[in-house]
Amino acid sequence: MKRALYFLFSLLIIFNIFVTFWLPINGDIFYNQDSARDFLLLEEIIEREPFTLIGPRTLGISGIFHGPLWLYINVPVYILGGGNPAVIGVFWGMLFSLSVVVLWYVAKKLFDKLTAFLSTLLYSSIFASPLHNFNNTFGAVVIFPFYFYIFNLYINTLKVRYLILSFLLVGLIIQFQMAFGIPILILQVGFLLYFLMRKKLLKHFMALPILFIPLSTFILFELRHQFLQTQSFLTYITSRQAETFNFLSVQTFFSRVSLIFKDSIGQISGREIIISIFVILLFIFGYKKIFSQRKNSKKNFYLLFLYLYIGYWVITYFYTGQIWIWYHWAFAPVMVIIFSSLYRYINKWMFFVVFVLCFGLVMKGQIQTFFRVQKEFSGKDHYSWVLFLNGAKNMYEESGQDFGYYIFEDDMLGYRGRYAINYAEKFYRNQGNSNTKKPVTYLFVASAHDYRWWKKTQVKIDRKPNSVTHLSYPYRIERYDLNIRELSLPSDPNLIDTLHFR
């Protein structure tokens, strides 16, 4: 019976992994501004600046950047694939497969084979999606379960090598997602102060300088740029002091609780409130049973997660900005392991009913998305890489000569169109020139927004296009055959044409 069950679980896990590979093996990916920005950064590393000390910007605080590790992990694949996003998408699928293996390994080492299968099944169902947005945060998702396992090993064995490795791993997590890694590091150091004082082993803190290795890019960047990120952080703190009182309100407290329900616990429950309540009740019953047992070798593991999880939300409570789901994504793998292990401590039928409900809801959404993607996504949806690539290729083929182009999107950065045009140039002899007027000039626009002022005032074109190519709403490409007078009117030199804002 167990073998048959494990075989079924294995098939479902393989299906989830296959779903992640579906779009890239068919030449497409989920193509949003973040992925386009990363491709442009990779292009910049390969063609102009091979050594960079920062990665993409953070959304929370202006002037703060993630580390460059995510970019450098992708560089070899970018080179091998000639910049093709679909090839990089296959690599992302391999990273997802690696995260499944890491989760399996940690769950098996900590508990047993059934916990490993349940964890891997639920985790792969949550994260496997043809529309998954793989970015720097996913590096933290891959590493955190292993970090958690290693730090727990140190607590149980007091072997310094595990402490050193845990510091290295949390440093790597900071490289990938500062909004997660920095609170975890603060909590780790705070715990160690208490723990090592009790054990009279404060000398173990001599392992802390190992953090300089994964954090070296941040340190070098600060030294080279007059502590730009430090100043940005201090500016943010001083500018938000007046908001602290309002932030410590009952309304804000309940909004954060709602966030935990929807975006954190909700990942397990398929974002169904009733099922989320059942999941939380299982956690409560399970933890109560664990703490009531005098001899439980896993108690430290459960306590450590509770400390890091609650501690994270306490620390980030004093952050006045938006808490995006990817800030705390990395908790999901360990949370899934703990949830899956609860069958060992509570009524098994009660556990498996809730587990099946969670898995069923998550899997239902997964399957619906998978079939919708097959019918409605590639070359049709405005998040399809193929759609942007086809639009860019059409510009090269239709113009038959060097052309100019301008891109209008609501964020005014235009990363998606820009990278598609850059990539398509590899297949043609003519060239596209960004923010430059040529006899043939294109406007690549998101027409859901009124761009007439931008076209008239900044691009300096004030008439109807000669022709229009409609992509998926709201995108379209307008062609203008400019006369000498129109060519002589220079466009605004302040139009964004760089990765300055990353």
Q: How many residues does the chain have?
A: 502
Give the pair of three-digit tokens for residue 171: 């440093």
Residues 10-39 as b/e (b if ≥16 CB within 10 A, e otherwise) read eebbebbbebbbbbbebbbbbbbebbbbbb
**In a structure prediction context, what are the per-residue pLDDT tens digits for the chain, which is 502 residues long?**
788 888 999 999 999 999 999 999 999 999 999 999 999 999 999 998 899 998 888 877 788 899 999 999 999 999 999 999 999 999 999 999 999 999 999 999 999 999 999 999 999 999 888 767 789 999 999 999 999 999 999 999 999 999 999 999 999 999 999 999 999 999 999 999 999 999 999 999 999 999 999 999 999 999 998 888 888 888 877 776 555 545 556 777 777 888 888 888 888 988 888 999 999 999 999 999 998 887 878 889 999 999 999 999 999 888 877 888 889 999 999 999 999 999 999 999 999 999 999 999 999 988 888 888 888 898 899 999 999 999 999 999 999 899 999 999 877 788 999 999 999 999 999 999 999 999 999 999 987 778 889 999 999 999 999 999 998 888 999 999 999 999 999 998 888 776 655 5
Q: Give the Cα-Cα-Cα angle 243, 249, 255 (nearest 5 degrees).
A: 100
Given this model, what pLDDT does residue 358 score? Answer: 94
Q: Which class for 409: exposed (0-12), middle (13-18), buried (19 or more C-beta within 10 A)?
A: buried
Pairwise CA distance, residues 39 & 43, whole Å: 6
Using left for φ > 0, alpha for ψ between -120 and 50, and beta otherwise, residue 227 falls in left
What's the predicted TM-score (pTM) here? 0.92
CA distances for 58 relative to 67, 282, 498, angstroms: 10, 35, 17
Pairwise CA distance, residues 449 & 426, whole Å: 31
Given this model, what pLDDT does residue 486 score? Answer: 92
DSSP readout, 98-143?
Answer: HHHHHHHHHHHHHS-HHHHHHHHHHHHHHH--TT---SHHHHHHHH
Q: Give the Cα-Cα-Cα angle 195, 199, 203 (nearest 5 degrees).
A: 90
Given this model, what pLDDT does residue 81 score? Answer: 95
Bridge-based pairing of strands 440-446 and 475-481 is antiparallel
Pairwise CA distance, residues 308 & 186, whole Å: 10
Given this model, what pLDDT does residue 245 score? Answer: 46
CA-based nearest residue to 64, from 312, 309, 243, 237: 237
Please count the other Cβ atoms lying within 10 Å of the Cβ belonging to residue 487: 14
CA distances for 413 relative to 170, 406, 418, 425, angstroms: 32, 11, 9, 20
The sheet with strand 467-470 has its strands ordered as 432-434, 403-408, 440-446, 475-481, 467-470
Pairwise CA distance, residues 62 & 229, whole Å: 9
Contact 334, 305 (CB under 8 A): yes
